[in-house]
Structure 1
């Protein structure tokens, strides 16, 4: 599904207009970083799973 450092797409775009996010922390809470404006957002795993759409790029 998703792993650390993957580039993902969420269901709704960020306020800056970009819909590309990098996963920077996985645990009970998920931390993602917007690839447009570099804003970091922390979500609970439940909220993340509801808003997650698909993986755009897998981490190497």
Structure 2
């Protein structure tokens, strides 16, 4: 079952970005995701399958709740 990911959520990935950050904000959802590195601001496109494999933790945008 796919993860419930929404625009504005912050995801922590298993691998870090070359800048050293591993927290990304979701900018667009769908078959492909656009995510933005919190540390350097670089935006990346990644497909749903690869993103779901790499997610370690999801922090919801509105409530600040965490999901493992």
Same fold (TM over 0.5): yes
Unaligned runs of 5+ in 2: 63-68
The question of 1:33 aligning with 2:30 is answered no
Q: Which has the higher contact order (CA 8 A, sep 6+)?
A: 1
In 2, Cα distance between equivalents of 1:20 and 1:49: 14
Match in the other structure for 1:58: 60
The question of 1:2 aligning with 2:1 is answered no
Quote how far apart the aligned CAs of 1:2 are.
2.7
Unaligned runs of 5+ in 1: none
TM-score, reference length from structure 2? 0.79
Quote how far apart the aligned CAs of 1:43 are.
0.5
In 2, Cα distance between equivalents of 1:43 and 1:19: 15
Q: Decide which structure has the larger Cα Rg and report it.
A: 2
Q: How many equivalent pairs are there? A: 59
